[in-house]
Chains A and B, each alone.
Chain A
Amino acid sequence: MPIQKGKLRKKELTINMGPQHPATHGVLRLELDIDGETVVKCTPHVGYLHRGTEKLGENRTYLSALPLTDRLDYISSMANNVGYCLAVERLFGIEAPERAKFIRTMASEMSRISSHLLWLGTHALDIGAMTVFLYAFKEREWILDLFEMLTGARLTVTYPRIGGVKADVSEEFLSSLYKFTDEFPKRIEEYETLIDQNRIWLQRTKNIGIISAEEAVNWGLTGPMLRGSGVDYDLRKYCPYDAYDQVEFDVPLGKCGDTYDRYRCRMEEMLQSNRIIRQCIEKLPQGPIMSPDAPKLTLPPKERVQKDMEAMIQHFVLITKGPITAPDGEMYSAIEAPKGELGFYFISDGTGRPYRMRLRSPSFVHASILPKLCEGSLVADVIANIGTIDIVLGECDR
């Protein structure tokens, strides 16, 4: 039947990208209204991975809520653990000893490298460069093996504790980590050889998903998303926690805030993380790894529990009731996680459990800018945009 002129209705097509799309890194669902190849409207739907971490945290003591934070941003769980422990330490007004601070700094930079390597591999894979994925995962495997050596688990580490870290680092671990830092800059060069000047990569990333500095601040972006637009804001630099004030590093910045700038930013960040780890190993001080001035917050050593009645009572009370010395009030504490600013907000009512635990997760904030990035762009660039905001849905949906 021939098409009659004027009878053909023009209407946008609504398609679902996700929740089971290989390029959405989890369970993000985007509702796209498309006109041909152009996206007219984009609506992100989150919540498919909601596990109620905040509510669960209210029903656990401060001690036993720690493993829940592993599952927020599950590819950089060390940073989440450090953020949680730091927040609780600030709530109780204690501080970890120097050695523990350096170990934590070292470990969270390791998690930054592993997170950025995963981002690099999958982002490049989505855009069409498969080789770099294999190369990046080789080094990521190395980091994960180091995590296993340090903590006993590859991904869900549960390594820092309130007032310190779980176990001391071994010489074997330190030397293999040092070897890694020797090798890693060469690997970065390899990734750059593969994609940095590649014309397909440049066409897919340059001038795609531009965010101006003003917009980035207004949308509440943090981390490499903000620094890619040229805003110099890094919590490690401007309100240093742990041992960040004792190590030297630069904050890489982008210029025009497109996907390529954010890529450059993250690559530079990996090198800076490498630098921080090196300095941490070189400067690692001797001393205790658990805060000795917080006996009401940390589990006493097992030898003491079996011998000393007081320690036994403290052990039982701490585990069954939680640290009951919690002060009343509320506080917010944030760290610079690989994805951005990860904040913990506690309301304490003096019991061993928080009255309210609220998480400020960078991925959730970053997901909100997706409609702005995608509207008016091509469908193929939606994938590039999802890759560049580097969200993890475990953290987004909590």
Chain B
Amino acid sequence: MGVKKIIKTVFMLEILKGMSLTFRALFRRPVTRQYPKHKREPFAGFRGLHALTRRPDGDAVCVGCGLCAAICPSQCIKIYTSEGADHKKVVDRYEIEVLRCLYCGLCVEACPFKAVVMTDIYEYSSFTRQELYMTKDKLLANWDRFSEKRKKTYFGSFWKPLFTDFSGSDKQAKLQDVSKAKKHEDIYLEAGK
């Protein structure tokens, strides 16, 4: 055994090195966040609690096509519709079982009218399951709560649009014209306030 190795073994140099690192960490700024006091704002596009957007007249935008229920991997969305006056489809019940939801956001992508959205609300624990069974009224209330807090356009700045960039493709040239034509994303938020 060489002298160097003996010194290393006796004085525990490698352990001292590690200890010096932990000692230096004493003077670094702490990285922990004291959660209930300090909350980090979720990033744009965060997939939190669901909500149903409102029409200008206050009712839900949802037309009851059932695409969100069709694509949902955990099949936790239930829609009950009936025929109303002048043969219009009326959404009687729109229910999301939040406890079974995967938060994949596919329902938001599937909805052709941006009626079902995901908000950045993430604190909604409860002692009962009943409270987390979201009915239509609760989902609309979620939207009010969210739009009140945000005070910003929803889809434009918060939720990331699904496919933004089709540039450089001849096949999609027509598509680009359509998407440029009009953006009616902010209407519903204005009405929701």
Chain A positions within 8 Å of B, measured between CB atoms, are: 56, 60-61, 63-68, 70, 99, 131, 138, 141, 145, 148-149, 151-153, 156, 158, 164, 166-168, 190, 193-195, 197-199, 286-290, 292-293, 295, 298-308, 312, 315-316, 319-320
Contact = CB atoms under 8 A, between A and B. Distances in A.
Interface stretch (B50-58, B80-88, B145-153, B164-172): B164-172
A60 B172 CA distance: 29
A56 B73 CA distance: 9
A301 B163 CA distance: 6
B167 to A, nearest CB: 7
Given A199-B15, A319-B70, A141 B103 contact: no
A303 B183 contact: yes
Contacts of A303: 178-179, 181-183
A299 B169 contact: no
A302 B31 contact: no
B108 to A, nearest CB: 10
A173 B149 CA distance: 24
B21 A190 contact: yes
A99 B65 CA distance: 34
A167 B162 contact: yes
Given A167-B160, A190-B21, A193-B17, A287 B165 contact: yes
B43 interface: yes
Contacts of B31: 138, 141
Interface stretch (B92-100, B110-118, B128-136): B110-118
A269 B33 CA distance: 30
A168 B18 CA distance: 42
B90 interface: no
Contact of B106 (A67, A298, A300, A306): A67
Contacts of A63: 71, 106
Given A158-B104, A303-B183, A60 B21 contact: no
Contacts of B70: 319-320
Interface in B8-33: 12, 14-15, 17-18, 21-22, 31
B102 A67 contact: yes
Given A288-B165, A301-B175, A319-B70, A156 B103 contact: yes
B45 A167 contact: yes
Interface of B, helix, strand, loop or mixed by DSSP: loop
A68 B163 contact: no
Interface residues of B, number: 49
Contact of A301 (B17, B18, B162, B181): B162
Contact of A152 (B47, B165, B171): B47
Contact of A198 (B18, B103, B164): B18
Contacts of B12: 199
A167 B73 contact: no
Nearest to A321: B70
A168 B164 contact: yes
A167 B161 contact: yes
A56 B72 CA distance: 12
Contacts of B114: 302
Contact of B165 (A158, A289, A319): A289
B171 A292 contact: yes
Contact of B45 (A138, A151, A193, A293): A151
B67 interface: yes
B155 to A, nearest CB: 9
Contacts of A156: 102-104
B179 A301 contact: yes
Contacts of B110: 299, 315, 319
B15 A198 contact: yes
Given A303-B183, A306-B112, A289 B43 contact: no
A195 B103 CA distance: 38
B16 to A, nearest CB: 11
B73 A289 contact: no
Contact of B14 (A190, A199, A293, A319): A199
